[in-house]
Structure 1
Amino acid sequence: MKLVLTLYFYLPLLFCKIPNALFLDQRIIGGQVARAGQYPFSAAIYKTTADGNYFCGGALYTNQWIITAGQCVDGAILFTIYLGATNLQTPGSTSVRLATDEYVLHPEFNPLTLENDIGLIKLRMPVERTDYIQPMTNLPSSNVPAGASYLQAIGWGQTSDENSGLADELNWITLTTISNEECRITYGNQITDRMVCVVGNFNEGACTGDTGSPIMQWIRGYYSEHVGISTFVSANGCESTDPSGYTRTFPYVSWIRNITSN
């Protein structure tokens, strides 16, 4: 991975360099196109700030709250959000387009180190559930361990280093966690206990535009838990073999529930 942090949003891309940092740029490389309704909690988030417009992913958690990365809400003036869509060019009749300016950024979010990179977006009204729009209500009861396989990540991020635009279709990939000790071989001590690193079996991974999107762990094969939030990738490029980084969900479960229950 390149030792550079890059915030991966839509237009334009932001580049924030720090010593021995990570590359905040994520890719769904080597993914498969999601079926309509396969991930009914997926959220496409267009963020407007004083400096421009940016794109992130997220996960609908309750009928009125979305879990995403802290960098995806920091400084926001307005969010335009699509739920129930898999194709961003033609969202279709199964989707809804919503606007809101309400969010909660974790009070200890550090934009330089990406510690506590989590934020919550509140919709103006609860969304109606359909076959294509359903919240992901399962939060983990413990940290996902190293060596956990069959985790799935989703996103509309770049599908290659050469393709600088967002993908039209929502893509998904299967990933495996590695230990933080192994991840620190690439990134050093900036990998904290509240982060988790993942690798693909065939160079799958996240890319620009995937920030904020969830990683899910399937439990006993029939339901999934939200176990991580896409945060960074290697500056060596989306198609490198370096691990990608996620914010662990488990350390923030109480914070999420406290905010969303009010």
Structure 2
Amino acid sequence: MNFLFVIALCVAFTSLYLTKELEARPSNDHVGTRIIGGEVARAGQFPFAAAIHVQTADSRFFCGGALTSHDWVITAGHCVYNAVLFTIQLGSNHLVSDDPNRMTVSTSTYILHPDFKPDTIENDIGLIKFRRPVDYNVYLEPVYSWSSTLANYIGVYSLGWGQTSDADGELSNELRYTFITTMSNLECKMFYGDQITDNMICAIGNYNEGTCTGDNGSPLVMYVGKSLALVGVASFISGNGCESTNPSGYTRTAPYFEWINNVTRGEE
């Protein structure tokens, strides 16, 4: 059985790869997630994609996320855990290239799910709030959160700026995406055992397509009608590495639909 490659503090701003172990029982692997084998996204294709630079008291790392409203971004719980500052880029597919559509905001306000468990990454979901609302445009729009609790989703897309291979320590300058297929939790337990809970979903691409270091917190989306809907956030990969053919893991967002609404509507 493989152990979860629990996603922790993954990629430094300066391409120093600062990692912090969150011991996944019984493993102590480092954390990471990436888009391997993906396609470069078109401008405005995923207008909700958020690039999140995270700073804690003693480290810096990178995560992805998704805009859910004028003033909230959703990401993985381990991406906000112990954070003191977020610098978030919106409206652009590029991390560093010049782009007049890029908007950069800074904030220190976040809500971590109260039942998040850093040792097992259960309830691995968090929300970041901007200091002031952002205006929408063709390159900056929220993702629709789907509340369906179907066991499996047909035809999902994973996206992010993570590494494109285990050997390449650089983040991708361009947002990339790949089509992957979900599997039942029973199937996923054949790889990871009882570490898989009902609030997780596993997915696998052709060959080794999927997430890698720097993709943690990035959205898993699918088409509902003509619109993309959020169904998960990237949470873990196999301890065998990004290029392993083992499935990647995501936190299902549907079970947290009420909690998300309560937080973002100010009822938390």
TM range (shorter): over 0.9
Q: Residue 191 of structure 1: CA displacement? A: 0.3
Gaps of 5+ in 2: 13-17
Quote the Cα distance in structure 2 between the aligned partners of 1:87 and 1:4.
27
Question: Is residue 177–residue 196 contact of structure 1 (8 Å, CA) maintained in 2?
Answer: yes
Q: 1:194 to 1:117 in 2, by over 3 A?
A: same
Deviation string 1:174-224 (CA, Å, 9 cap, x unpaired) is 01110111111111101000000001023210000001001001113x112
Partner of 1:211: 216
Question: Is residue 8–residue 209 contact of structure 1 (8 Å, CA) maintained in 2?
Answer: no
Structure 2 residue matching 1:47: 3-state secondary structure:
strand
Partner of 2:10: 9
The residue identity in structure 1 corresponding to 2:92 is A
The residue identity in structure 2 corresponding to 1:229 is V
Question: Is residue 153–residue 172 contact of structure 1 (8 Å, CA) maintained in 2?
Answer: yes
- Say which of 174, 183, 188 aligns to 2:179: 174
Quote the Cα distance in structure 1 between the aligned partners of 2:215 and 2:126.
15
Q: Residue 91 of structure 1: CA displacement? A: 4.6
Quote the Cα distance in structure 2 between the aligned partners of 1:217 and 1:202.
20
Structure 1 residue matching 2:238: 3-state secondary structure:
coil
Note the 1:12-23 alignment, pairs <5 A. 12-21=18-27
Matched, 1:50 2:57: yes
Note the 1:15-34 alignment, pairs <5 A. 15-21=21-27, 24-34=31-41
Matched, 1:123 2:136: no
Q: 1:153 to 1:3 in 2, by over 3 A?
A: closer
Q: Residue 25 of structure 1: CA displacement? A: 1.3
Partner of 2:229: 225
Deviation string 1:8-65 (CA, Å, 9 cap, x unpaired) is 5212122333334576311100000011111100000001110111100000000100
The residue identity in structure 1 corresponding to 2:197 is T
Partner of 1:157: 162
Matched, 1:244 2:251: no
The residue identity in structure 2 corresponding to 1:121 is I
Structure 2 residue matching 1:255: 3-state secondary structure:
helix
Q: CA RMSD in A?
A: 1.5
Quote the Cα distance in structure 2 between the aligned partners of 1:78 and 1:236.
31
The residue identity in structure 2 corresponding to 1:139 is S
Quote the Cα distance in structure 1 between the aligned partners of 2:110 and 2:141.
20
Q: 1:39 to 1:20 in 2, by over 3 A?
A: same
Quote the Cα distance in structure 2 between the aligned partners of 1:65 and 1:47.
16
Partner of 2:205: 200
Deviation string 1:114-146 (CA, Å, 9 cap, x unpaired) is 00000000001110111111111x222322433
Note the 1:59-138 alignment, pairs <5 A. 59-136=66-143, 138=144
Question: Is residue 144–residue 227 contact of structure 1 (8 Å, CA) maintained in 2?
Answer: no
- Greater Cα offset, 196-205 or 98-107: 196-205
Partner of 2:239: 235
The residue identity in structure 1 corresponding to 2:250 is Y
The residue identity in structure 1 corresponding to 2:6 is L
Question: Is residue 8–residue 32 contact of structure 2 (8 Å, CA) maintained in 1?
Answer: yes
The residue identity in structure 1 corresponding to 2:257 is V
The residue identity in structure 2 corresponding to 1:239 is E
Question: Is residue 106–residue 131 contact of structure 2 (8 Å, CA) maintained in 1?
Answer: yes
Structure 2 residue matching 1:15: 3-state secondary structure:
coil
The residue identity in structure 2 corresponding to 1:238 is C
Gaps of 5+ in 1: none
> What is the TM-score normalised by the length of structure 2?
0.92
Question: Is residue 139–residue 225 contact of structure 1 (8 Å, CA) maintained in 2?
Answer: yes
Question: Is residue 179–residue 197 contact of structure 1 (8 Å, CA) maintained in 2?
Answer: yes
Quote the Cα distance in structure 2 between the aligned partners of 1:4 and 1:10.
15
Question: Is residue 149–residue 175 contact of structure 1 (8 Å, CA) maintained in 2?
Answer: no
